[in-house]
Chains A and B, each alone.
Chain A
Amino acid sequence: MASSSSARGELEKMGIDQLKALKEQADLEVNLLQDSLNNIRTANARLESAAGALNDLSLRPQGKKMLVPLTASLYVPGTLDEADKVLVDIGTGYFIEKTMEDGKDYCQRKINLLKSNYEQLFEVLAKKKSVADEAGMVLQSKVRQLQAATTS
């Protein structure tokens, strides 16, 4: 762990004010990264439910009677049309018509992409967190030293 000890040496050299500023900045970054991680997690959950819904939809035959939701609380009786085609929302107001298979594949690919992003971000977060913790510890020891020096 040569890198961490050299970083520690650098932290020791810095003054208390600098250390405080560094710790605050590191904490801020940790919070930001945590928020991004949470967002990725929610997006992932949404995509997984979308994939599940698609699987469910593929089981229904064409022409099956169903209640069509026209708004959040309004349903109209109707029949399922074109059971093989779905519209997927790819963002920025664009929708693409795909077959059932392609739709499922799209969802799966998106889920995988988000998972890899999540893991990368998690690593960065862990590193930043360790820097913040170290800075905090060094700051505390310095403050204690200063207090001991002033009281004695």
Chain B
Amino acid sequence: MSSSSPSGSGGDLSERRGIPAAKFIQDVETYLSQSSLDSNSALAFHQESEVFCPVILLFRLQQYKVVEMKLLAQQRDLQVYFSPPLCRLVPFCDEASLVAKIPDIEKCLEVVGTLEARKGTGEALLADFEVSEGIYSRACIEDTDSVCLWLGANVMLEYSCEEATALLKNNLENAKASLEVLVADLQFLRDQVTVTQVTIARIYNYDVQQRRVKQVAPTAITAADS
């Protein structure tokens, strides 16, 4: 099949991180005749537009939808703040808490900053902490240099304030970078979905045109006969 450069702001990419790019078809007629000759891409009846269009286009559309769902879920995972799961009053958590997400990491950074600022004064901090959803209890936090960070997979490590700040900053940058990549992926995906839908629409229009031509032709012949 002749490959023309894909349209859209994505640039000349044949695929991006596993998402195949949709080729922009220059001429519907040649595309259809080519695909009908090619035994691999059988024509399938598309329910909505009621036209025979290559099965590969429909399949592509479905694939795009699936990938879009997955990416949206990942994005939600990074951006939305989930409330912390319940923890029993034991030094180690029974349940795996969620991997730190962007708002959560930012909060942690703030708290560590506050703790560090207070370090010199030597006064104890009274904090209300969540025992379970809706239940809070008070605790007294004395001056301490160490904080414990939950890294996931039943692992918790104790860090000094500076180390904790460095680690949290690193995590935040990584999370933000992956969010950017995710957003770019979603945009690329949206472009490909549009291109594929446009192709299907053009095939439908071409089909309508063909039918109209066929209708006119017999009447023209009968008119010529009589």
A and B found bound together? yes
Residues in chain A within 8 A of chain B (CB atoms):
46-47, 49-50, 52-54, 56-57, 60, 64, 66-83, 85-89, 95, 103, 107
Find A77's partner among B83, B126, B128, B148 (CB 8 Å cutoff).
Answer: B148
The residues of B that contact A80 with a CB separation of less than 8 Å are 89, 137, 139-140
Number of interface residues of B (CB under 8 A): 45
Asked if B24 CB lies within 8 Å of chain A CBs, one says: no
Chain B CB within 10 Å, residue with most, of A57, A72, A86, A95: A72
Asked, given contacts A53-B131, A73-B97, A74-B147, whether A68 binds B112 with beta carbons under 8 Å apart, the answer is no
The residues of A that contact B128 with a CB separation of less than 8 Å are 87
Asked if B19 CB lies within 8 Å of chain A CBs, one says: no
Distance A74 CA – B197 CA, assembled complex (angstroms): 47
The residues of B that contact A87 with a CB separation of less than 8 Å are 128, 135-138
Shortest Cβ-Cβ A-B pairs, 3 listed: A72-B84, A53-B132, A78-B141
The residues of A that contact B141 with a CB separation of less than 8 Å are 68, 76-78
Distance A80 CA – B111 CA, assembled complex (angstroms): 19
Find A85's partner among B133, B138, B147, B149 (CB 8 Å cutoff).
Answer: B138
* Nearest chain B CB to A107 CB, angstrom units: 8
Contact between chains at A81 and B139 (CB < 8 Å): yes
CB pairs A–B below 8 angstroms (13 shown)? A46-B133, A49-B132, A53-B88, A54-B135, A64-B89, A66-B89, A67-B148, A68-B127, A72-B98, A74-B108, A75-B149, A81-B138, A87-B128
Distance A56 CA – B135 CA, assembled complex (angstroms): 12
Asked, given contacts A71-B107, A78-B142, whether A86 binds B136 with beta carbons under 8 Å apart, the answer is yes
Distance A95 CA – B108 CA, assembled complex (angstroms): 24
Contact between chains at A57 and B84 (CB < 8 Å): no
The residues of B that contact A85 with a CB separation of less than 8 Å are 137-138
Distance A80 CA – B124 CA, assembled complex (angstroms): 12
The residues of A that contact B98 with a CB separation of less than 8 Å are 72
The residues of A that contact B125 with a CB separation of less than 8 Å are 78
The residues of B that contact A82 with a CB separation of less than 8 Å are 137-138
Distance A68 CA – B45 CA, assembled complex (angstroms): 62
The residues of A that contact B139 with a CB separation of less than 8 Å are 66, 68, 78-81
Distance A68 CA – B134 CA, assembled complex (angstroms): 16
Asked if B59 CB lies within 8 Å of chain A CBs, one says: no
The residues of A that contact B112 with a CB separation of less than 8 Å are 74
The residues of B that contact A73 with a CB separation of less than 8 Å are 84, 97, 100, 104, 108, 149-151
Find B129's partner among A49, A69, A95 (CB 8 Å cutoff).
Answer: A69
The residues of A that contact B87 with a CB separation of less than 8 Å are 69
Known: A73-B100, A74-B107, A86-B135. 15 other contacts (CB 8 A): A49-B133, A52-B132, A72-B84, A72-B104, A73-B150, A74-B108, A75-B149, A79-B140, A83-B137, A85-B137, A87-B137, A88-B136, A89-B133, A89-B136, A103-B135
